[in-house]
């Protein structure tokens, strides 16, 4: 159980650091970014620190504002069988048989 808590804390801290880096790369203050999110600067500051009390909706909104929303749809998704993925890729690569245009 302790390992789960440690992993969670580490992940939230990483998310907070990434959020801060993304905000700084846009030259935005915490105050301005928080305002864009519709939250207080204090709540936003907690996000950057990796607070586990931050609502998931705030993370989604921040990701959207930073054009990094892609990937969230896979959170808690059922794991995909790698062999099934390979078969799908193989099916897409198969070429239709028959003669090509311009060849006799």
Nearest one of 11, 76, 23 to 50, comparing CA atoms:
11
Q: Check pLDDT > 90 for residue 3.
A: no
Q: Does an H or E element contain 27, and which?
A: none
**Cα end-to-end span (Å), the chain:** 69
Nearest one of 59, 77, 62 to 11, comparing CA atoms:
59
85 vs 48: CA distance, rounded Å: 36
Q: How does pLDDT run across 62-102, given as a tens digit for each residue?
A: 999 999 998 888 788 777 777 877 777 788 777 555 565 66
pLDDT above 90 as % of the chain: 58
pLDDT at site 87: 78
Identify which has the larger pLDDT, 102 or 60.
Answer: 60
Q: Which domains does the chain have, with CATH numbers?
A: 2-93 (1.10.260.40)
């Amino acid at each position: 159980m302790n390992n789960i808590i440690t992993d969670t804390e580490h992940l939230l801290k990483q998310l907070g650091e990434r959020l801060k880096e993304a905000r700084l790369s846009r030259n935005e203050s915490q105050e301005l970014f928080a305002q864009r999110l519709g939250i207080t600067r204090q709540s936003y500051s907690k996000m950057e620190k990796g607070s586990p009390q931050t609502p998931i909706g705030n993370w989604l909104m921040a990701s959207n504002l930073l054009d990094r929303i892609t990937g969230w749809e896979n959170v808690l998704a059922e794991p995909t069988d790698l062999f099934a993925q390979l078969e799908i890729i193989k099916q897409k690569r198969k070429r239709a048989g028959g003669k090509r245009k311009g060849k006799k």
